[in-house]
Chains A and B, each alone.
Chain A
């Protein structure tokens, strides 16, 4: 039976009572990034499920509306964007849930490190394993919806940019609802209205590319939205996590 060896602990005895934290926020952020990446890679289905969901939703539209390529080509930019947005939303609920359940979230909040930076690290992993794969997969589904040539790169780029904002905004909702037992539906209700500007400019970029208009304005606005989200969302996420841990 393994048991505590207090003798060992005392003999070891070289641990001081207190040591000033040396590693700064950078070390903690890097460790959190690594930990979350490892965790998600070990539960690969959580990474794959949103992608499968994305493909499934896209399959529903030709079946539900019409397989006519011309019609599909018209609605493709919006469909791809809406489906990707929903897929990203689907994965949000688990962003802080498991940390909350096993008590790591408390520890995250009590670390002598800036919480917004740690929260940002978790959101970055979420985007890396949800938003980015969705963006890379979108052109493939674009082919199935007869998306006109010349807009594929813009589709992937706009989704990559936009989904980063979606992850940041969505994380606020996830942080607000993580303490609630049935937070999933509420999370969508809170977050979807806030997604609308990103959807407008994201889908607008793809449409502009199809029409041959310049897409730089759209992408610039998407970038601006991301900048705003990056500068404000981490603080809102941190505040929300502190509220949720209160119960």
Chain B
């Protein structure tokens, strides 16, 4: 087990194994997202209350899921980096953060657009949207902190600590925002909490969520490989690799 973890931590080994894994995740992501999109956009029935605007759920919910999962992954990677000093974990964390921020933005944007036909306004201080907005600020904080240090090691460790502090706070923020929302807007209709969806509605949603996760894994593998080239550019195996690729 230990040997395996440390092997996984070796950039050279990771570079080789990720090259083999990566195409599968890209294919899976493409197939799942295409199938899910077609199903969700054209075949799933319209919602009896919201009509076709309901189809925004198929991008809003996967993006929101991913936004939260990426932050948790970042914290886990930070923990691995801090405890076992595995640099790959930190490289992956550094590469995840912008995607997480982008997904948070997608969730916010789609939520806001969805608000127009549902609430008649571009922005509602809805519990879900408010939590997402705070998450976006947390992402900005981690990215900005990493960029602020001149020493790479300090930047990595500071970003790891902040990601871990943030991940402890995310559930607290989420619950307090939910609580705050019910207190101020007791009976407003919430877009995503709905009673049992029929299978034709949630199956494409599930496919989209899986597709987004595959996309996240594929992209993180790819960008971590790039980051290895950047950080280990003075290592002999990276140089030999550059010779081969040309």
Q: Which of B22-30, B32-40, B143-151 is near enough to bind chain A?
A: B143-151
**A204 to chain B: which residues have CB within 8 Å?**
180, 183
**B153 to chain A: which residues have CB within 8 Å?**
246
Q: In the complex, which residues 208-247 of chain A have their Cβ closer than 8 Å to any Cβ of chain B?
A: 225, 228, 232, 236, 239-240, 243-244, 246-247
> What is the CB-to-nearest-CB distance from B153 to chain A, in angstroms, rounded to a whole number?
7
> What is the CB-to-nearest-CB distance from A2 to chain B, in angstroms, rounded to a whole number?
40
Q: In the complex, which residues 154-177 of chain B have their Cβ closer than 8 Å to any Cβ of chain A?
A: 154, 157-158, 161-162, 164-166, 168-169, 172-173, 176-177
Cβ-defined contact, B138 with A193, below 8 A? yes
**Size band of the A side of the interface?**
20 to 34
Given A194-B169, A196-B173, A197-B169, decide whether A177 and B148 contact each other with a Cβ distance below 8 A. yes
**B183 to chain A: which residues have CB within 8 Å?**
204
**B180 to chain A: which residues have CB within 8 Å?**
200, 204
Cβ-defined contact, A246 with B145, below 8 A? no
Q: Which of A176, A189, A196, A247 lies in contact with B176, CB distance below 8 A? A: A196
Given A246-B151, A247-B151, decide whether A200 and B165 contact each other with a Cβ distance below 8 A. no
Q: Which of A83-91, A121-129, A179-187 is near enough to bind chain B?
A: A179-187
Most buried by B among A192, A194, A228, A246: A194
Q: Whole-angstrom distance between the alpha carbons of A247 and B173 in the complex?
A: 31
Q: Is B123 an interface residue (CB 8 A)?
A: no
Q: Whole-angstrom distance between the alpha carbons of A179 and B155 in the complex?
A: 11
> What is the CB-to-nearest-CB distance from B216 to chain A, in angstroms, rounded to a whole number?
23
**B169 to chain A: which residues have CB within 8 Å?**
193-194, 197
> What is the CB-to-nearest-CB distance from B172 to chain A, in angstroms, rounded to a whole number?
5
Q: Is B134 an interface residue (CB 8 A)?
A: yes
Binding site for B on A (CB under 8 A): 172, 176-177, 179-180, 183, 186, 189-190, 192-194, 196-197, 200-201, 204, 225, 228, 232, 236, 239-240, 243-244, 246-247
- Pairs of residues from A and B, 5 with the lowest C-beta to C-beta distance, nearest first: A197-B176, A193-B137, A190-B141, A200-B176, A200-B180
7 contacts between A and B (CB under 8 A): A172-B161, A190-B145, A190-B162, A196-B173, A204-B180, A236-B161, A246-B157
